[in-house]
A and B are shown apart, each in its own frame.
Chain A
Amino acid sequence: MVAPELVERVIARALARGGDLGELYAEDRHGFSVTLDDGRVEDPRAGAERGASVRVVRGEASYFGHVDGTDEASLMKVADSVAQAVRGDERRPAALGAVRVAQGHPVTERPQGVAAARKAELLRECDERARTAGAEVAQVSVGYMEERRLVEVFNSDGLAAADDRTRVRLSAQVVARRNGASGPRVETGTDTRGGHAGFELLSGDPGAVAESAARKALTLLDAVDAPSGRLPVVVGNGFGGVLLHEAVGHGLEADAVQKRASVYAGKLGQQLAAPSVTAYDDGRRTGEWGSDGIDDEGTPTRRTTVIEDGCLTSYLYDLVRARADGVESTGNGRRQSFRHLPVPRMTNTYFAPGEATPEELIAGVQRGLYAVSFGGGQVEPATGDFVFGVSEGYLIEGGRVTAPVRGATLVGNGLEALRAVDGIAGDLRIATGYCGKAGQTVPAGVGQPHVRLAELTVGGTG
C-alpha cells in the first residue's frame, strides 16, 4: 500500500527530533454487515477506510498521530506533527528490510466474493430455525458481519511486515415469552460463531447458532431464582473462559503490571493455582477469532504459556513494555485500528485441557451452580475484583444438574478464583468475544474446557 521509499522518508521525518523507535502503521479496511430483526432484513452497511498512524517512542513516552488516507502529503504532515512533540536530537532510522508477509490464516471462500443476497438468505435461515425451536419464541434477531484488514507495519529498526486478516461472525439473539398468572415472563438467549476465516466458517449448519440461542431462551423460561452465598461453581467450556480472560488475563497485561496496577505484579514464578492448572495466550491458533499473523506492531503472534502447572510464568507484552522489562515482545501489541495506540492485549486466552470429563466435575458437587455461559463481566485489574452475570446457569444438586436459574452473578477476586480451581475437563472450546480496554475494542478469543471452582460468591436474586 505504501511505497518503501515513502515509508523511509516518513519514519525519518518522525525521528527528526529524536526517539528510540519510529513507526508507521497503515491499514486498508473493508467491512460489511447486515441484520435481521422481527423477520425483516435491515441495515445493510458497507464501509471502506484507509489510514495510517505514526508513533515515536522516546524513553517512557509515546508520541502518536493518525490520519485518514495514506497519500504522501498526509503522511508527511502527521510525521511532522508527531516530531514536533518530541524533545531531542535527530535519530537516523535503520534501512528497511524487505516486507515480510505474515503467515496468514486459511480463507477458502472470500466473504467479499459472496453475493449479499446469500448473506441475507443465511439470516432468514437462522430466523426460521430459531422460530421452529419452540412456540414460545417471541423475537429473533440475527447479525452477520465480515471484515478484511490489510495491515502494514514499518519501524526504525528496519522492520517491514504485512498481514491480511479476514474475519466473519454470525450472532443470534432470541427472546422467549410466556404469559403466566403473575404477568409475562421474558428471557433472552444468545449464541455466536466467528473466526479469523472466510465464509466457509458458516457453510456447515449456520442455523445451529440460532437454534442454540433459542434453546437457551426457552430453557430460562423455567428458571428459578438463583441461590446466594458461597458455593462450588462449575464453569462451562467456550465462553465460560471469559472468567479467565477478565479475572486473570487483564492482570497479566504488562502495562498494568509495570504500573503496579495489577494483583499479579511481582508474582512471577509464584504458585497461584493447583499444579493441574496451565493457561495460554495463543495468537497463532489456526482460524480462531483472536488470531492474527502478526500483532499490530509487526511481531509474529505466538503461544505464550502464562500459567504452567499452577505457576505464573509470563506476562503479555508489546514492544514498549517488553523493552522496559528487558524481554521480547510476546506479540500482544494490538490496536483497534490505525486510529489507536497499540497496547498489550490478549489474543485467544484459555485454560489447557485436563483429564476429567464435565460429568465427573459435576458429580463431585453436592450443592452448587453450573454456570454455562456469561452475559459479560467486568474486572478491576488493580484489585482483581470481578463480577460476572451468568446468562445460562443451572443448580447442581446431589452431583446432578437440575433446574435452570436466572439472575445469578459471580463475584470474587482473580487470585482467589485461581486458587479455587480444583478440576479441569478435556473439552476445550474457544468462543468469540469483543474485549474493551483503553477506549479500544478488539476481537478476543475466550475459551476453556469445563472448569470447577471449589467455592465462589454467588449473588442471586432469591
Chain B
Amino acid sequence: MSADLEALARAGVEAALAAGAGEAEAWCEDTTSRQIRVYDGAVESLSDSGGRGIGIRAFLDGRVGYAYGTDLGPEGLRTIASTAASVAAVADPDEYAGLPEVCGATPVEGLESPAMAGFSTERKVELALAVERAARSRPGVTQVENAVYSDSEGAAAIANSGGFSASYATTRAWAYASAFAGDGEDLMTGLGVGLARDPAALDPEAIGVEAAERALALVGARQPPGRRCPVVLDTFVAASFAGFIGGMLSADSVQRGRSLFAGRQGEEVAGPSFVLVDEGCHPDGPASAPFDGEGSPTRRTSLIEDGRLAGFLYDTRTARKDARETTGNAGRGYRSAPSVGATNLLVQPGHASLAELFAQAGDGLYVTDVAGLHSGVNPVSGTFSVGASGRLIEGGELGAPVREITIAGDLVGMLRDIAAVGSEDRWVPVAGSVRAAPLLLREMAMSGS
C-alpha cells in the first residue's frame, strides 16, 4: 500500500510541475479505521471507514498555493495540481518558503503492529464490552455513558521535486469510557483511557476501572470557599497544561508575537525540576513517524531543561527565518499545508509518589479535571482562569471532593511554582499526545463560594 501511495505522490509532484510550479510537494494518505461504541451491554454503533486523499503544495516565485482532493485518478490529480498552482497567485511572496534542505527518515521501531490484522471485529466488540463491564461493576457507578473501542491502520507518503520520496505505515488502537457516579445534580463523571499499537496491548479492565474511580472520587462534591493554597495537578490535568505550553513553544507562534515565551531563551521559565521534551521518533509515541509533514526526519528536541527555556519547535519556513535547522515539527494531514506543531510531548518524571506529593502539599487542592483551558488562557499574556474539580488535600491526605472552582494565575508564574514532579508518568491521549506526570505547585489562587 505504501509503495502505491509513494507513486501517487510522485505523480502529484509531476502534475504540479507540469502546471507551472517551480517546486512542488505532495502528501498522500490512506487510512482505514473502526469505531465500536457500546452501551448497556450491546453495540450502539459500529463504523468501518476508509479514506484516501492527496494534498499538493505548489511554489511559484516564492508564492505558495495548496489544494487537496479525493479524486486520485489521472484527471483528478491534474485538477488538484493545477488548482494548487493557480491559487498560489493570490498569495504574497514569502522569502522563507520552499522545500526543506535535508529530507530523510528516522527509523522508528514498531510503528505498525502485525497483531492488528489478526484481531476480529467480534473480539474488538468484546473488548469494548469488557471496558463497560469493568466500569459498571464498581459499586456506586450509576451509568456508563460511553465505552468506545477505536483503531486505525494508515499509510502516508510524501514526494517532492527535489527528488525525495518516502512512506510509512502505522497502526493504533485505543479505548475509553465515561462513567457516572451519583445522581441528579450530584452526578459526577470520570474518564478512563488506554492507547496502544494494537488491541491485544490494551487492558480493558484497567480502562473501565479508571473511569469508575475517577467518577467515584468526586461523588458528593461541593463548592469550597476560595483561597490561595498548594495545588497538585493530576496526570491528566498536567498533560492538558503541557499540551497547551507545547503549542506556545511553536516557532510560528513565537515569530508572530503570539507566545509569551518569545525572546526568553535561556531564561528560567519553570521550577528547576521541570523538563519538557518533544520527541517525534519515540517508539511508544502515538504521534511518532519517521519524517514530518515536509519530509524532514523526526528527532528529539529539548524545550525546557531544568526549568530553563531551551528551544522552540520549527518547520522549514520558521527555521529559515531564524537561520537555523528545522526540528522536524511540520504537522500535516492531506487537507492542510504543513504547519508547526508538537509531536509527542514528554514531561520527565520526578521521584515523588502521589502520596508524597500530597504530604508535601499539606493543606491544598488536588485537581483532577479542568474545563475551558482553551478559552480560559490568554496565549499572549499567559493569564488564565479555568474551571476545575477534584479533591481537597487535608493534613497531607486526600479529603472532601470539590467542584465549580476556578483556578487562576499566569502560566509562567505557575511553571515557576512547580515544587516537585511526580514519578508516576503515563501517556494521556486526550490533549494531543503527551506523556505527563503529576505536578506539585507551591501556590495557586482558587475561587469558590
Which residues of A are at the interface with B, using a C-beta cutoff of 8 A? Answer: 32, 34, 37-38, 40-51, 60-69, 78, 81-82, 85, 116-117, 119-120, 138-139, 175, 185-188, 226, 228-230, 259-261, 263, 339, 341, 374-380, 382-389, 391, 406-409, 411-413, 415, 457, 459-461
Contact = CB atoms under 8 A, between A and B. Distances in A.
A379 B375 CA distance: 12
Interface string B144-188: 010000000000000000000000000000000000100011011
B385 interface: yes
Interface stretch (B15-23, B39-47, B103-111, B195-203): B39-47
A382 B189 contact: yes
Q: Nearest 10 A-B pairs (CB), nearest first? A: A459-B406, A376-B375, A387-B387, A387-B372, A389-B375, A68-B70, A44-B87, A62-B45, A375-B375, A64-B47
B337 interface: yes
A411 B387 contact: yes
Nearest to B40: A60
Contacts of A263: 184-185, 187
A175 B257 CA distance: 9
Contacts of B47: 63-66, 341
24 contacts: A41-B92, A42-B94, A45-B66, A45-B337, A46-B67, A48-B70, A61-B46, A64-B49, A67-B50, A68-B53, A85-B48, A117-B89, A139-B258, A175-B258, A376-B375, A380-B189, A383-B189, A385-B389, A389-B385, A408-B385, A409-B385, A457-B223, A459-B447, A460-B385
B315 to A, nearest CB: 13
B375 A378 contact: yes
B408 interface: yes
A443 B46 CA distance: 25
Interface residues of B, number: 72
Contacts of B39: 60, 259
Interface stretch (B229-237, B376-384, B417-425): B376-384
B408 to A, nearest CB: 5
B318 interface: no
Contacts, number: 231
A218 B70 CA distance: 44
B383 A407 contact: yes
Contact of A49 (B70, B94, B257): B70
Given A68-B50, A409-B385, A457-B448, 5 more contacts: A48-B79, A67-B49, A383-B187, A415-B185, A459-B387
Most buried by A among B67, B375, B380: B375
Contacts of B374: 376
B45 A406 contact: no
Contact of A63 (B46, B64, B384): B46
B272 interface: no
Interface in B89-108: 89-92, 94
A60 to B, nearest CB: 6
Given A139-B257, A409-B385, A62 B46 contact: yes
A341 B36 CA distance: 12
Contact of B404 (A68, A228, A391, A412): A412
Interface in B1-50: 39, 42-50
Interface in B58-99: 64-71, 79-80, 83-84, 87-92, 94
A387 B92 contact: no
Contacts of A32: 87
B143 interface: yes
A375 B384 CA distance: 12
B218 to A, nearest CB: 10
A66 B386 CA distance: 38
Contacts of B187: 263, 382-383
Contacts of A379: 371
Contacts of A187: 378, 380-381
Contact of A61 (B43, B257, B337): B43
A140 B406 CA distance: 31
B45 A341 contact: yes
B449 A230 contact: yes
Contacts of A78: 50
A461 B385 contact: yes
Contacts of A380: 189, 371
A66 B385 contact: no
Given A380-B371, A387-B376, A44 B90 contact: yes
A387 B90 contact: no
